[in-house]
């Protein structure tokens, strides 16, 4: 037979080194616990007769020609890894199996394939090649070819397949086999080694560094989740889902590409970029594109492992046409191909991407146009791609199946940690997006912003059911509603404070008298009044009185610094200040100040005033942190409050409900705790003090049988852990302000079966809540707790940067509309216009509030919180704009630069000062004198300069770990101070030395840790202090003096060395400290 002509042997040097590409795979394979991550394989279905003997002969000839098929094994000598290449085919043969006579030939064939692909290669003891011919029928065969990726890539496999078919057809025709078309593996390795040492290689790597300078991190998590997908063929460590693109659409893709003077693969990259832009919101993408890694004639003719990945840095401008994007993508692909020999692994190292925490480029888009029209002796074939190698994140493969079969799109993902629903949704949506774009006239002329990725069904869902329920609006005011409750329940208890109970009738009468007095002094509709009281009945009465005059109010917190109070009163434009004499001295200004007590106003009529007042009249003004250093003043109406608190299923209401009002009055949560009771005939228990005191919360909740508690997530967790008795009578508990802790919610549900726990979300601009979620109890904690579904008449949407709806499951910015939206920011029309934008989904004239929060809908239409779209942060439930703290730092005469970040849920400030010896504690006190406690940085780190990115922006990732502000080395002077220092260290969980002048808060403390400290102090000294005491005396020395004052004598007398008259020597300070901590920690 003519096909047995001998061929020239492989080079005599059979012990060959690895290429750079192979070395990286060898290292990665050694770290793969499965051993099969780098198994690659395809199965070519031949729909026609095959002569197994001739195919086996052709295959053996192929082995003689292609060096990679003769690699016997690999050898590691401790210095270098070698590949051993046999000089001839030896005993190698193509296995043949006939399953045509089985009951299920198709299933049996795939079982054989699965067995071949799932078996790990022992690279040191066996050839890294497995091929087989399987007969399913007289005119249907599978040719399986599987390899370890270490020896061959997709292009090499394609070369070998084409040559095998050529050899087989020559054998069938009885024609002689021609000379081998393949180059030498030894020569290819030598060429590669020479290139790596060349100036050309160095220049290519430098070109990439320049090209990628300032590039963003690739978006991770597009399909990540907590689920587990079904493994692909053979149980390989990845999952695959496939969809088809019809032959007509595939032909249209090629036609449109020709019209844009581009290849169909470039057009496909552009369309994929548009899709990613729409589902990530990013205008700059980093897509990983596998390339051949072959630029020389030798490389293009030698099958082996040469392929590479190039990162495509694609900028998507929504206002540009698709055609313009195609041209931009074409240029980017050309750049990648021009420099494709620079290894992707080297690019990752240069970018500092050394682990899975970051990725240089993702997802992978692998366009495989290999032999879509391949025939065997005129009979058609179909390619069944089984595995392309490792899958660490989303990997998209597009396979050309030929004109008759169109394209196949494979979405490969890891098996674990994926959202299977999101994978299917993205894949189906992308395929539909391709089809819809290609169906348009001249798609290249369409703006990117106009290419819609949503289906009609998805759009209807997102603007209908998932946007939230709709009901008739409630047209009333706070005053009218409260007076209705006072008439219905005159003897019902409205308020409880430390002085006693107040009924609805008493409260209404007192507020009416006070309102008449304020009216007589000029306060009325359209005015703004400041209210400055400690929490209590007098404070509540003043609030109601101001509203009854028709005016709006701003609540001023006595715990805030005087500067902050004065600036708030000034920015609010108050005309009247209602307070008491001692507090009035702190807020002087051009307004009328009223310090009358309710008992002085008994001469006034106690009846309702009946003044005209509408739902859209302003009711309250709240301040929240501002990015420019100036707090934002949010002006809200009666409608905003009423719409959130009346007619909402989430809220427990009725005269039997008892709410605890403990949130700071500067929070919008105050309104739920206060008005949630008073608008429904319930009772509001007013906790003394301006901050929630865990011990007081627990005591008041039990003593007054509180039914509803609203708590920041941090306080919720603390009470669940340390004071679960606080929930003894509670039927509804809200966890708000921060991400809810699944573990703590589950723990409380186990401790208090039947309690309703809700996770609430909402910026102050939409009044208290925009969404809520009732957490269903279960046997285990939930993986994540959603922020829930929109309230009645408060629709919510997840939108991209163009205010287009994001598809279900896709992260975008959360926008809220409806009855809860504030009027805007007082005196800031520019900021109001930026954050309150026209509503394209509601009635004409409607507005959307841009929350700045990122969210996505899950499969059940519940919103999941995904972080911030800007620098705003939340700590202990407070919204914080770092810019406000930065601005305060820059007012210090020694600070020239400042940047504020978050470290371990604390504010961390980095500063550059004019004098390197500037006192950090002095700077911290400077900020504390101007800002509330939650805006004062815990950490203060002085740097010579702030690190910057190549674009000149501050590089926050390059900032060092912050340092705590230890201010003194003064050691404790007596046993009281020694014990307190030990309690500071134990509460703060630090091993650092604590001096007697170190501030508890500068060391990392906050209000809840202060509460824990007061518990420990009570255990150690038998004296109950409050959080306010710790804020007022934040050092060991200060608290020691306070303890001495409260007990009348020093808590523990000073120690004198050598005291003691017994046989046992007294314990040292250090010993007593260790003993105390051991006692507090228990067993």
Give the model's pLDDT for residue 871.
Answer: 67
Residue 962 CA from chain centroid, whole number: 23
pLDDT confidence of residue 9 = 44
Look at 27-41, 191-205, 1020-1034 and tell me which has the smallest mean pLDDT.
Answer: 1020-1034
Mean pLDDT across the stretch 1065-1077? 48
pLDDT value at position 1062?
Answer: 46
* Each residue's pLDDT tens digit, 249-291: 999 999 999 999 999 999 999 999 999 998 888 899 999 999 9
pLDDT at 1061 over 50: no
pLDDT band for position 464 (cuts 50, 70, 90)? very high
Q: In what order do the strands lie in the sheet with 632-637?
A: 592-594, 576-579, 528-532, 552-556, 618-624, 632-637, 824-825
Contact 878, 712 (CB under 8 A): no
Q: Which residues pair with 381 in a beta bridge?
A: 46
- Residue 1053 region by backbone torsions, left for phi larger than 0, else alpha for psi between -120 and 50, else beta: beta
pLDDT tens, position by position, 508-517: 999 999 999 9
Per residue in 341-375, pLDDT (tens digit) is 999 999 998 888 866 667 899 999 999 887 778 99
Cβ within 8 Å of residue 32, ≥6 positions away: 38, 390
Residue 906 bridge partners (DSSP): 903
Q: How is residue 980 written in tokens?
A: 């307190």
The predicted pLDDT at position 369 comes to: 80
Contact 702, 687 (CB under 8 A): no
Q: How large is the average pLDDT for residues 746-772?
A: 95
**Can you list the domains of the chain with their CATH numbers?**
2-191 (3.30.559.10), 207-451 (3.30.559.30), 881-958 (3.30.300.30), 975-1081 (1.10.1200.10)
**pLDDT score, position 964:** 63
Res 326: pLDDT: 97
Q: Give me the residue label for tokens 């959307």.
A: 848
Q: What is the pLDDT of residue 931?
A: 79
Q: What is the DSSP string of 318-376?
A: TTSBHHHHHHHHHHHHHHHHHTTTS-HHHHHHHTT--STT--SS-SEEEEE-S-TT-EE
Reported as a single tens digit per residue, the pLDDT across 60-83 is 999 999 999 999 999 998 889 999
The per-residue pLDDT for 132 is: 97
The residue among 45 and 902 whose pLDDT is bigger is 45
What are the tens digits of pLDDT across the range 1016-1040?
Answer: 888 888 888 887 788 778 888 889 8
Dist CA 839 CA 924 (whole Å): 43
* Separation between Cα atoms, residue 68 and residue 148, nearest integer Å: 11
Direct distance between the N- and C-terminal alpha carbons of the chain, in angstroms, rounded to an integer:
87
Tokens representing residue 6 in the block? 């001998």
Instruction: Name the token pair of 11.
Output: 């080079």
Which of 1000, 993, 990, 1002 is CA-nearest to residue 909?
Answer: 1002
For the segment 44-69, the average pLDDT, to the nearest whole number, is 97
Please determine, for residue 41, whether its predicted confidence score (pLDDT) is greater than 70: yes
Whole-angstrom Cα distance, residue 551 to residue 158? 80
pLDDT in tens, 378-398: 999 999 999 998 998 899 999
> Tens digits of per-residue pLDDT, 956-987?
777 888 866 555 567 888 888 889 988 988 88
What whole-number percentage of the chain has pLDDT above 90?
Answer: 65
- Give the confidence band of 402 by pLDDT, cuts at 50, 70, 90: confident
Residues 645-674: b if buried by 16+ CB within 10 A, e if exposed: bbbbebbbbebebbbbbbbbbbbbbbbbbb
950: confidence class by pLDDT, cuts 50, 70, 90: low
Query: Degrees (nearest 5) of the Cα angle 179, 180, 186?
Result: 135
- Which pLDDT does position 485 carry in this prediction? 98
Report helix, strand or coil for 814: strand
Residue 147 has a pLDDT of 96
Contacts of 974 (CB under 8 A, 6+ apart): 1040, 1050, 1052, 1053, 1054, 1055
Beta strands (DSSP E) in 344-466 are 364-368, 375-376, 379-387, 395-400, 407-413, 416-418
| Span 218-227, pLDDT tens digits | 876 678 877 8
CA distance 605 to 338: 88
Apex 1078 CA angle, 751 and 1050, nearest 5: 105
Q: Could you tell me the pTM of the whole model?
A: 0.75
Half-sphere exposure of 468 (CA within 13 A, CB side): 27
Residue 879: per-residue pLDDT: 66
Between residues 1007 and 49, the one the model is more confident about:
49
**CA–CA distance from 423 to each of 37, 372, 433, 655 (Å)?**
21, 26, 15, 49
**Dist CA 838 CA 842 (whole Å):** 9
Q: Is the pLDDT of residue 626 over 70?
A: no
Say what the pLDDT of residue 1069 is.
46
Average pLDDT, the chain: 89
pLDDT at 436 over 90: yes
Query: Hey, which residues does 84 pair with through a beta bridge?
Result: 15, 73
For residue 731, give every residue at least 6 positions away whose Cβ sits within 8 Å of its Cβ, in sequence order, or none: 652, 707, 708, 754, 755, 756
| Residue 391 C-alpha from the chain's centroid | 22
Token pair for 821: 């939206």
pLDDT score for 729: 97
Q: Which of 109-118, 667-676, 1025-1034 has the lowest mean pLDDT?
A: 1025-1034
Q: Percent of the chain at pLDDT above 70?
A: 92
**pLDDT tens sequence across 552-568:** 999 999 998 898 899 99
Collapsing DSSP to helix, strand or coil, 949 comes out as coil
> For the chain, how many residues are written?
1083
**At 733, which helix (H) or strand (E)?**
strand 732-736
Phi-psi domain of 683 (left: phi exceeds 0; alpha: psi -120 through 50; beta: other): beta
pLDDT of residue 902: 83
- What is the per-residue pLDDT for 627? 57
């Amino acid at each position: 037979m003519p096909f047995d002509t001998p061929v020239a042997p492989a080079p005599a040097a059979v012990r060959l080194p690895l290429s750079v590409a192979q070395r990286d795979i060898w290292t990665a394979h050694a770290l793969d616990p499965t051993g099969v991550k780098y198994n690659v394989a395809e199965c070519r279905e031949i729909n026609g007769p095959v002569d197994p003997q001739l195919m086996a002969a052709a295959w053996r000839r192929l082995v003689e020609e292609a060096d990679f098929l003769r690699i016997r094994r690999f050898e590691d000598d401790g210095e270098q890894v070698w590949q051993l290449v046999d000089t001839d085919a030896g005993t190698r043969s193509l296995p043949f199996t006939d399953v045509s006579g089985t009951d299920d030939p198709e299933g049996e064939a795939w079982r054989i394939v699965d067995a071949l692909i799932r078996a790990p290669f022992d690279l040191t003891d066996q050839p890294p090649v497995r091929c087989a011919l399987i007969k399913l029928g007289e005119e249907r065969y599978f040719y399986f070819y599987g390899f370890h990726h270490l020896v061959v890539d997709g292009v090499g496999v394609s070369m070998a397949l084409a040559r095998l078919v050529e050899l087989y057809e020559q054998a069938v025709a009885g024609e002689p086999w021609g000379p081998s078309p393949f180059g030498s593996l030894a020569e290819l390795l030598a060429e590669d080694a020479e290139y790596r040492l060349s100036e050309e290689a160095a220049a290519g790597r430098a070109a990439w560094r320049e090209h990628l300078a300032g590039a963003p991190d690739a978006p991770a998590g597009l399909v990540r989740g907590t689920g587990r997908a079904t493994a692909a063929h053979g149980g390989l460590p990845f999952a695959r889902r496939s969809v088809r693109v019809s032959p007509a659409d595939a032909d249209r893709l090629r036609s449109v590409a020709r019209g844009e003077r581009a290849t169909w693969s470039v057009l496909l990259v552009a369309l994929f970029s548009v899709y990613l832009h729409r589902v990530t919101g990013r205008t700059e993408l980093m897509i990983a594109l596998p390339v051949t890694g072959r630029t020389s004639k030798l490389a293009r003719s030698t099958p082996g492992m040469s392929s590479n990945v190039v990162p495509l840095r694609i900028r998507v401008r929504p206002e540009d046409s698709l055609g313009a994007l195609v041209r931009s993508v074409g240029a980017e692909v050309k750049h990648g191909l021009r420099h494709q020999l620079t290894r992707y692994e080297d690019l990752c190292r240069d970018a500092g991407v050394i682990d899975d925490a970051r990725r240089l480029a993702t997802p992978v888009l692998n366009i495989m146009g290999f032999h879509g029209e391949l025939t065997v002796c005129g009979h058609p074939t179909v390619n069944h791609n089984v595995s392309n190698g490792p899958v660490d994140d989303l990997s998209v493969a597009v396979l050309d199946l030929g004109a008759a079969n169109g394209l196949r799109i494979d979405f490969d993902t890891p098996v674990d940690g994926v959202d299977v629903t999101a994978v299917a949704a993205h894949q189906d949506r992308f395929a539909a997006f391709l089809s819809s774009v290609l169906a348009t006239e001249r798609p290249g002329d369409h703006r990117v912003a106009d290419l819609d990725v949503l289906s009609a069904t998805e759009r209807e869902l997102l603007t209908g059911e998932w946007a939230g329920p709709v009901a008739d609006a409630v047209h009333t005011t706070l005053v009218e509603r409260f007076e209705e409750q006072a008439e219905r329940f005159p003897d019902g208890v409205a308020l409880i404070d430390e002085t006693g109970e107040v009924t609805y009738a008493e409260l209404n009468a007192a507020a009416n008298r006070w309102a008449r007095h304020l009216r007589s002094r000029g306060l009325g509709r359209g005015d703004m009044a400041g209210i400055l009281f400690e929490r209590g009945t007098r404070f509540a009465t003043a609030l109601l009185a101001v509203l009854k005059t028709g005016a709006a109010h701003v609540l001023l917190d006595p715990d805030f610094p005087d500067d902050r109070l004065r600036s708030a009163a000034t920015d609010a434009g108050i005309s009247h200040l209602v307070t008491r004499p001692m507090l009035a001295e702190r807020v002087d200004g051009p307004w009328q100040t009223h310090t009358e007590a309710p008992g002085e106003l008994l001469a006034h009529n106690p009846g309702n005033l009946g003044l005209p007042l509408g739902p859209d009249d302003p009711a309250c003004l709240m301040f929240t942190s501002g990015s420019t250093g100036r707090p934002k003043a949010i002006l809200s109406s009666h409608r905003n409050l009423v719409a959130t608190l009346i007619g909402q299923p989430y809220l427990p209401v009725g005269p039997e409900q008892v709410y605890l009002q403990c949130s700071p009055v500067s929070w919008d949560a105050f309104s739920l705790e206060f008005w949630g009771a008073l608008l429904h005939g319930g009772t509001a228990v007013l906790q003394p003090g301006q901050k929630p005191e865990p011990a007081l919360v627990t005591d008041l909740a039990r003593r007054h049988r509180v039914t509803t508690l609203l708590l920041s997530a941090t306080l919720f967790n603390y009470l669940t852990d340390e004071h679960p008795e606080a929930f003894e009578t509670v039927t509804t508990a809200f966890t708000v302000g921060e991400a809810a802790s699944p573990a703590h919610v589950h723990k409380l549900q186990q401790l208090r079966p039947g309690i309703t726990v809700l996770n609430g979300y909402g910026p102050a601009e939409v009044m208290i809540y925009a969404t809520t979620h009732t957490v269903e109890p279960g046997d285990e904690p939930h993986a994540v707790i959603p922020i829930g579904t929109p309230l009645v008449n408060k629709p919510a949407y997840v939108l991209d940067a163009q205010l287009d709806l994001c598809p279900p499951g896709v992260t975008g910015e959360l926008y809220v509309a409806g009855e809860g939206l504030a009027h805007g920011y007082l005196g800031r029309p520019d900021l109001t216009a930026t954050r309150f934008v026209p509503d394209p989904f509601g009635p004409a004239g409607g507005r959307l509030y841009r929350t700045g929060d990122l969210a996505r809908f899950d499969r059940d239409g519940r919103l999941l919180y995904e972080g911030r779209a800007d620098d705003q942060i939340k700590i202990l439930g407070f919204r914080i704009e770092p810019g406000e703290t930065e601005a305060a730092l820059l007012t210090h005469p020694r600070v020239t630069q400042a940047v504020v970040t978050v470290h371990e849920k604390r504010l961390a400030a980095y500063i550059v000062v004019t004098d390197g010896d500037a006192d950090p504690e002095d700077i911290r006190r400077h900020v504390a004198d101007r800002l509330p406690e939650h805006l004062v940085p815990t950490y203060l780190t002085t740097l010579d300069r702030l690190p910057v990115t190549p674009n000149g922006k501050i590089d926050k990732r390059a900032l060092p770990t912050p340092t705590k502000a230890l201010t003194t080395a003064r050691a404790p002077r007596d046993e009281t101070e020694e014990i307190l220092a030990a309690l500071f260290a134990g509460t703060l969980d630090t091993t650092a030395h604590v001096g007697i002048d170190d501030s508890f808060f500068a060391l990392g403390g906050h209000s809840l840790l202060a509460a824990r400290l007061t518990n420990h102090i009570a255990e150690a000294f038998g004296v109950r202090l409050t959080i306010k005491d710790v804020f007022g005396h934040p050092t060991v020395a200060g608290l020691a003096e306070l303890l001495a004052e409260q007990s009348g004598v020093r808590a523990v007398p000073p120690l004198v060395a050598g005291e003691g008259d017994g046989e046992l020597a007294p314990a040292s300070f250090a010993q007593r400290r260790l003993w105390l901590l051991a006692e507090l920690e228990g067993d």
